[in-house]
Structure 1
Amino acid sequence: MFANKINLSPPSYGLAIFNKANQCTFSSKYAPLLLRGSFSLAKNPGSPASFSTPFDRPLVPLGKWGAWVFAGSSYEVFHAGMVMNEGTLTTGSAGRISSMPNAGGNVTSMITTMSLPLLDARNYFDGI
């Protein structure tokens, strides 16, 4: 990400990130995306992802990686996001999607187990 008023333009292919003012704040046209490994989230919500890195400042992609369901008298359904705590990565409930009555059905949480990129923060941020 850039904060020094540089005028970035999106690449013809690759990754571009825009802020709320529709300004390009990151472009893979200028800084290479250096893949340093990959990892997969655990299938069960709250279970730790299994990955190890040769570096101490991993960057992981943020996003919604499934649905987390809490069952009780009703089903409370949330987006599943990521939680990182001292190098342990798990899924956590992010934003509420819906609520529905529990009619004895089988509604379960679903987390993606696809391979996700792992980056080293030292390639992008000075002084860390």
Structure 2
Amino acid sequence: MTKRRKSLRNRTITYSLLGIIILLFFTYFVAQNIVFPHGQPIVNQLNDIIQNAEQDKWTEAEDSFNKLMASWEKGKYLLAINYAEADYSLFIENLARMQGAIEIKDDMETVSQAQSTLKLWNNFIKVVPQP
């Protein structure tokens, strides 16, 4: 085989791999936007939990939490692909703490956990999350 032919084949392989990587990233972010359109369902549910906890509306806060968990269950595996174990684990831990705070009707802890979860979520939906 000639030197030129080898070079051409290597270039073809390089471009093919680059194309596959770009396609995978594109597919991942499209899927993320379909499952979590701009993150709104989760953001809205977290804001509802904060508002309901501040107003001592615990039944509504629990309903919002249940909706939040349903939204989370739909896409948690999609997010697990892209995010560090520590952030993902902290998010799940915050959800558990928030659920406990709602059950004992602790407004300060509920609001604190919901705000922390909201900050993590806003970082999750960025194209390039911050550490």
TM-score by length of 1: 0.24
Q: Rg larger in 1 or in 2?
A: 2
